[in-house]
């Protein structure tokens, strides 16, 4: 394994702390029908890959072209309990690819159930084979609470993932939880700018915004991603890299979030969503996304590939 790149000298981001342990989310797995998938696929000109429509496989793969931007969009549906394995494989493959190409791997995490779905990364074979020393971890969004608070996305990720893998503490960029929402957003943007300046995070030649190797998103039942909520003016932010919100409809109200220009400059993005409570938003995003203002997830458009990891419940209305 290669030596660790030290960023301690230039990163203004808060150093890693060890919060107490937290609990993990729970899940459910309602019924799913191949019929719905087929209907969705035909209505959007999407084709099933390697699947006999008469014999439904829980691991259905489909892909579709996006018109506005040539993003490779893929959707895979799994049994709820099985999704973590292909997700870990996906992350590990991208880690190897970017470490080979660029020497490091920049990942931005969301909160919520995503961290539970990443659980296979901390088990063999991935825990032993990934070059963790080359990882740089940031947050797509964070709640403005102390890092020891149960609502902290940092704490969630630390307890469930980061404390179990040998990523150098200096490569984990938490928000400064001593600041106000405004201050934390500015501080975090400064952190990202330093990482760009020092070639840790790449820059999109298309947009000029930071280009993460991989952004991992969850999605709310209302179609929000990061802390970008339906109908909120922050959806239209075009200049800031990191913004603050004080009226989040999902508690807690004060958060910071990457803006869409940053989210959409990512090379690869995975949206991980499970449960029937997400089915309407998934249907709208993939089948009927005429009003993306009301459905932020429909605006997600990375530069190389958008991959949806769904369970049968989340895919049940397609």
Instruction: Say if CB 161 and CB 170 are below 8 A apart.
Output: no
Binding-site string for ligand 6PG from residue 89 to residue 118, where x marks contact by CB under 6 A and - marks none: ---------------------xxxxx----
Binding-site string for ligand 6PG from residue 277 to residue 296, where x marks contact by CB under 6 A and - marks none: --------------------
Q: 110 or 259: whose CB is closer to ligand 6PG?
A: 110
| Separation between Cα atoms, residue 101 and residue 7, nearest integer Å | 20
Helix or strand run (H / E) with residue 29: none
Strands 47-49 and 60-65: what pairing?
A: antiparallel
218 binds ligand 6PG (CB under 6 A): yes
Binding-site string for ligand 6PG from residue 11 to residue 30, where x marks contact by CB under 6 A and - marks none: --------------x-----
Residues 6+ apart with CB under 8 A from 213: 94, 98, 102, 105, 106, 107, 202, 266, 267, 268
Q: 14 or 248: whose CB is closer to ligand 6PG?
A: 248
Binds ligand 6PG by CB under 6 A, chosen from 77, 94, 219, 318? 219
State the nearest-atom distance from the C-beta of 254 to ligand 6PG, in Å.
12
Q: 153 or 316: whose CB is closer to ligand 6PG?
A: 153
Q: Give the 3-state DSSP-derived string for 204-259, with helices as H, strands as E and coil as C.
A: CCCCCCEECCEEEECCCCCCCECCECCCCHHHHCCCCCEEEECCCCCCCCCEEEEC
State both tokens at 28: 């459910």
Binds ligand 6PG by CB under 6 A, chosen from 172, 225, 235, 279? 225
Binds ligand 6PG by CB under 6 A, chosen from 39, 240, 250, 294? 250
| Separation between Cα atoms, residue 156 and residue 150, nearest integer Å | 8
223 binds ligand 6PG (CB under 6 A): no
Q: At what angle do helices 279-287 and 34-43 cross, to 10 degrees?
A: 30
Binds ligand 6PG by CB under 6 A, chosen from 226, 276, 282, 306? 226
State the nearest-atom distance from the C-beta of 249 to ligand 6PG, in Å.
10
193 binds ligand 6PG (CB under 6 A): no
Helix then strand then coil, % of the chain, to nearest 5: 35, 20, 45
| Separation between Cα atoms, residue 140 and residue 138, nearest integer Å | 7
Q: 111 or 210: whose CB is closer to ligand 6PG?
A: 111
Choose the stretch contacting ligand 6PG; rule: CB under 6 A; options: 49-57, 184-192, 212-220, 262-270.
212-220
What residues from 138 to 177 belong to the interface with ligand 6PG (CB under 6 A)? 141, 143, 153
Instruction: Say if CB 29 and CB 189 are below 8 A apart.
Output: no
List contacts with ligand 6PG (CB under 6 A).
25, 110-114, 141, 143, 153, 218-220, 224-226, 250
């Amino acid at each position: 394994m290669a030596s660790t790149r030290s960023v301690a000298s230039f990163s203004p981001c808060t150093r890693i702390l060890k919060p107490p342990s937290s609990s993990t989310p729970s899940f459910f797995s309602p019924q799913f029908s191949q019929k719905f998938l087929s209907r969705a696929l035909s209505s959007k000109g999407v084709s099933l890959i390697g699947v006999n429509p008469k014999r439904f496989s829980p691991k259905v793969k489909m892909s579709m072209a996006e018109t506005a931007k040539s993003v490779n969009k893929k959707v895979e549906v799994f049994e709820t309990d099985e999704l973590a394995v292909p997700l870990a494989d996906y992350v590990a493959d991208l880690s190897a690819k970017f470490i080979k190409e660029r020497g490091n791997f920049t990942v931005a995490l969301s909160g919520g159930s995503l961290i539970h779905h990443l659980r296979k990364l901390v088990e063999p074979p991935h825990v032993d084979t990934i070059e963790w020393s080359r990882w740089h971890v940031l947050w797509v969004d964070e709640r403005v609470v102390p890092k020891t608070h149960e609502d902290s996305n940092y704490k969630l990720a630390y307890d469930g993932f980061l404390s179990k893998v040998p990523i150098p503490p200096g490569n984990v960029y938490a928000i400064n939880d001593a600041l106000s929402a405004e201050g934390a957003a500015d501080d975090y943007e400064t952190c990202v700018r330093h990482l760009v300046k020092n070639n840790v995070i790449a820059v999109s030649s298309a947009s000029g915004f930071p280009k993460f190797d991989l952004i991992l998103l969850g999605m709310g039942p209302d179609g929000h991603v990061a802390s970008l909520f339906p109908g909120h003016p922050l959806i239209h932010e075009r200049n800031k890299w990191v913004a603050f919100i004080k009226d989040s409809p999902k508690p807690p109200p004060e958060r910071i979030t990457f803006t869409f220009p940053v989210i959409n400059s990512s090379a690869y993005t995975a949206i991980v969503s499970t449960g029937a409570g997400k089915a309407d938003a998934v249907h709208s995003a993939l089948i009927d996304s005429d009003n993306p203002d009301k459905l932020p997830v429909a605006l997600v458009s990375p530069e190389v590939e958008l991959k949806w990891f769904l369970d049968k419940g989340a895919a049940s209305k397609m």
